[in-house]
Structure 1
Amino acid sequence: MSEPRLHHVQCLSASGLHRMAYWEWGERANPRVLVCVHGLSRQGRDFDALARALAGRYRVICPDVMGRGRSDWRPDPALYQVPIYVADMVTLLARLDVERVDWVGTSMGGLIGLGLAALPHSPVARLVLNDVGPAIEYPALQRIGSYLGRRMRFADMAEGAAHLREISAGFGPHSDADWLALSRPMFVPAEGGVRLHYDPAIAAPFAALTPELAAAGEAALWHAYDALNCPTLLLRGAESDLLSRATAEAMTQRGPRALLHEFAGVGHAPTLVAPEQVEVVRHFLK
């Protein structure tokens, strides 16, 4: 199939119920399920290329995390936190009615997968962490914070896609067609043109992050990482400013002793669109 099916699942948080959208590829009856979760300001259609490549083997599920894409926005920005996203994913897996899943998570999606995989009796069988780990470089957070949540309007999608290309240089080289495919789901109609798909309030918890809070979070994430007992693949853009080489190497030596694969000419984060990137994931999931 060339296009996914859009579904919603009802989730519960402190402010009440909210709907989370998810995109489904492949046969619904397939018990082999792959969940792919996007980065901080992205959405589930980021994984179209990977999902098309794997839909013959898997039922591929690509959620729009709360506040992004087709999912509901929340009235309280404090709800835009990884532990709440993990709870939403537990609800999603209950809807899917499966006991085990494989997981691909890019950046924030990797942290959500890490949080879920570290829980006792976790359903995560295999974990792919795409350019993220327990230690996140603070200058990269500052870089992301410089554009996250800005209320920007664009005359059309071409102008918006050019903006995304400018702030997403770390994604590495893409053809114009590939970039347009990645960019199209990132915009929704707005007065006078288009705007980005996400709630600008997702930037609020991010803006409150200090080096001290980041250090405390790092200790908690290493504790979770060391609790993993599933096979883990760590992908890294060789020029990443978010996941350092030292952190990546440490992840190969502790916890699940991740298998590390680096992509040359890419920073934060590999998009898993290029055939060679897709093949690395496919080979691991075999």
Structure 2
Amino acid sequence: MKDEIELGEILKQLYAISGILIDVYDLEGRSVARYPEKGAAFCSLVSRNAEGCRRCERDNKEAFATVRKEHCVHIYRCHMGLYEAAMPLYHYGRLAGYMMTGQMLEDRPGAAREVEREARRLGLGTAEEIRQAVGELVRINLAEIETFLTLCRVCADYIANHHQFPVAASGTAREVVRYLEEHYREEITLDGLCRWSGYSRTRLNQLFRDYTGTSVGRYLTGIRLRNACKSLRGTGQSIYSVAMENGFSSQNYFSRQFKKYIGCTPGEYRNRQKKEDGQDTWDR
């Protein structure tokens, strides 16, 4: 008997128990394993439709962003009204990827008709194709979803620690960049980032500088200043409001950083802002 179970076999067994599609993604949101490989018939209908694909990609990105932010399983209804769940895959405390289960139809009267109606509205196929595909979806209630996800969590831990999911140095740096871009309005400290990433201050700074060419602090300031420039150009907000909205601790600190990197005060920048739409002064 093998010491380790193949990734595909794990997904296959979970599918055999539940009939629910299971996908494993890397940190870039690329599918690295799936069972069944073809997906559900309904998923195939959606994937043939450009608008359906766009919505699916948006749902996935939003789900992954929520998992990164909340560090927990995220259950939601997709754009077609079906239940899906995304959960983090951790390797020694650091995010390494995602596992997603999907296309679950809520077991209640009228749920199938609602999905069919939306599918017809998007033009996913003929009425018969849609009806047949929806009829093949797994029907499940919220309590059953929770039970299934408990099993998935156990499998997710095994997958992350046995199937080449350790976070590479560049992967860690990319995750920190994403975190900064998503949370720049909040108070962010290097110690907090170290706790979040699982690295020491020295190691995290080194990884980040190797990946971006600059320090965590300067990169974060760059994000905040770029967004502040957009606010100064495109809104009538006060300087104080712009500073607070973009994560600066005070208006004075904001003005000093703005002068240091942009070369003028926020007020001067606003008065002489460029006419060309979308041109940023800040260059990281």
TM-score range, shorter chain: under 0.3
**Structure with more contact order per residue of length (Cα contacts < 8 Å, sep ≥ 6):** 1
Higher strand share: 1
